[in-house]
Structure 1
Amino acid sequence: MTSDVLSIDPDDSVGIAARKLSERGVSAAPVIDAEGRLIGVISEGDLLQPFCREKQLQRAWWLRILAEGEAIPPALVDYIRLDKRRVRDLMTSPVVTVTEDTPLPVVADLLLRHRIKRVPVLRDSRVVGIVSRADLVRALARAPDAITEPI
């Protein structure tokens, strides 16, 4: 388990969130509200969603509409606001979580079943760590029997 956890504010811009992830060398972080509660997770994949191929095709269509002088559709207005989106607009929620005493086989099962790469660890509803797939592989490499131990 990683216990030095970067957290992201739900009102951070996409740019700020991307910078924080990049500076820490992590691919995702829990989103924590002003009261310290976990409300979501923001990942590199979440941050890239607005720029996927489908959105790029929409952009080309909207540019043609503008060039032809037609009325601006609401979807274009949303696209123009794209860079003003906040973490809360893109984060994944609800979040799959575990506690410190969750057995590692259960953690592994959750990661695989939900097709996620990491899971926040909670104590009294507060994030105290994150367990990633890499953490489980390291535990397995150290001691194959460690996978039966709690985190």
Structure 2
Amino acid sequence: MRAKDIMSSPVYTVEQSTTVESAAELMTTKAVTALPVVDAGGALVGVVSEGDLLWHHVPSDPTAHLQRRPDVDPANRPHAVGEVMSPYPVITRPDADVAEVAEMMLDRDVRSMPVLDDGTLVGIISRRDILRAMVRTDDVLTADVQHRLDEYSDGEQRWAATVVGGVARIAGKFRDENEQAVVAVLARTVPGVAAVDIGA
């Protein structure tokens, strides 16, 4: 399974000049946890997350109001996304293996990663996307793999697919090694399939 199979696309983005309030409203409305930040030409320059927006709006001293003084001077609070975003975001590519993406997210402690194809922002993938793909049952995966194989063979059920523990097993005859390779790739692209076993 590749990043392109489960990423969210098109991507909701903001610019550095976007207000913090507008970014927060967009996140809430679209139910996303992070937004890529792009320049006027659409190039990625950073990422702003829920945590980035909340960091400067949650009082560090919860007793400040009891002392009748502001915890943070409102004049010093950030107003634009460019002031709170994370520059140099961790990115991935459309053909990256989801397991590789998940490992990178954990290693770098990020919850979302923009997906770039030759420098162009084409999607974003979150931990939630990965979890959603991984929790599909074997029955659902079996039906999905079988459907793709039947479509490839123009409705003729030339192969039988079964998925157990995330491993897709394909039984049937193949014309040659190229066809076998194509079938393996088709099964592997089903979100939730961890491996493919080709049998006779």
TM-score surpassing 0.5? Answer: yes
Distance in 2 separating the partners of 1:53 and 1:148 = 48
Greater shift in the superposed pair: 20-29 or 89-98: 20-29
Task: Note the alpha carbon deviations across 1:68-125, whole angstroms, 9 max, x for none.
Answer: xxxxxxx95xx5141x521000001110000011111110111111111111100121
| Number of residue pairs the alignment of both structures matches | 136
Q: Percent identity?
A: 31
Distance in 2 separating the partners of 1:33 and 1:55 = 35
Query: Which residue number in structure 2 is paired with residue 51 of structure 1?
Result: 57
Counterpart selection for 1:14 from 20, 23, 26 = 20
Question: Which is richer in strand?
Answer: 2
Note the residue ranges of structure 1 that are not aligned, 5 or more in a row. 65-74
Pairwise CA RMSD of aligned residues? 2.6
TM-score (norm 2): 0.59
TM-score (norm 1): 0.77
Query: Which residue number in structure 2 is paired with residue 110 of structure 1?
Result: 104
Query: Which residue number in structure 1 is paired with residue 120 of structure 2?
Result: 126
Note the residue ranges of structure 2 that are not aligned, 5 or more in a row. 1-6, 142-165, 168-192
The alignment partner of 1:51 has SS state of: coil
Matched, 1:35 2:41: yes
State the shift of 1:63 in Å.
3.9
The alignment partner of 1:21 has SS state of: helix
Distance in 2 separating the partners of 1:59 and 1:87 = 27
Give the number of the structure whose alpha-carbon radius of gyration is greater.
Answer: 2
